[in-house]
Amino acid sequence: MPGPIVHAGAVVLCAHGGQATATSPFPRVLVSGQPVVTLATQYVVAGCPLSSSSGPFDVSGQWIVGAVRVQAGGVPVAISSGSSITVATGGPLVPVVVQPRAVAS
């Protein structure tokens, strides 16, 4: 399913509301002046509300299903309609704000 391409400046949260930040987006391909995120890009999660409980909480995550036809450096780009997973809880990463102009399928 097509969706907007996720880039380094996108607002991405863990399923519980913690802020997720791309650690190494692909710098050679830009959308809206920001490097794109590929399936190889790891995210770190800060401020997951579950960290104050005794159970597991989100510390990192990654997109696992992205664009089929669009790649950056031979790796599929992450799209907002793709699938992602976080380490520890297995919840998704939620793209809240992404650029609307470049769409991939």
Question: What would the pLDDT profile of 40-58 be if each residue is shown by its tens digit?
Answer: 999 999 999 988 777 789 9
3-class SS of residue 52: helix
Element containing residue 45 per DSSP (H, E): strand 42-46
The answer to whether 30 and 53 are in contact (CB under 8 A) is no
Residues in the chain: 105
State the pLDDT at residue 11.
98
State the pLDDT at residue 55.
78
Question: What would the pLDDT profile of 71-104 be if each residue is shown by its tens digit?
Answer: 999 999 999 999 999 998 999 999 999 999 999 9
Give the span between the Cα atoms of 29 and 41, in whole angstroms.
13
State the pLDDT at residue 53.
77
Question: What would the pLDDT profile of 22-40 be if each residue is shown by its tens digit?
Answer: 999 999 999 999 999 999 9
Whether the model clears a pTM of 0.75, i.e. scores above it, the answer is yes
CATH code for the domain defined by 3-100: 2.60.200
